[in-house]
Amino acid sequence: MHISVRAESKHGKRLNPRKADLHRWRETFAEKLRDRGVEAEATRQATRGRSRNYESLWRFRAREEGRLRRSRPSAKSSVRARSNRAEAVEAWMEVGRAMAMSTDKADRDLACSIATIIQEMSSTAPSVARSRAPVTEPVLKSIDVDPRR
């Protein structure tokens, strides 16, 4: 789901929300939806395996009118974005390993799904020029999902 928020106070003053503010708003919105019986979560892009740059309205309009001089990459590739993504992959791997060690078949099935998610996250990672500062990416180790446990 995507929503738009009017960035203006009750008194007409323009707000300048930061990423942390926006995330807190998303979490509050999801909580209010859950209070009304709607299943909702507020997750960051990296956690979902996404790294998309959303085009601002002025860029969109400039592109439509042929005035846009430089395009912006469609995927985030900054050091910080890659670091966040690497942390998310590592966290998913840890959860997958724990689920794979379970005696419950449903947990092991979830571990298989997590392994698939990790592979998709890795295959959609944006390629970054070598000139940028390196980020230590987690080494993708397979999640052992042995059905004999």
When pLDDT is averaged across residues 65-91 and rounded to a whole number, the result is: 80
How much is the pTM? 0.49
Report d(CA 26, CA 20) in Å as an integer.
10
Q: How confident is the model at residue 128 (pLDDT cuts 50, 70, 90)?
A: very low
Q: Which residue has the higher pLDDT, 83 or 46?
A: 83
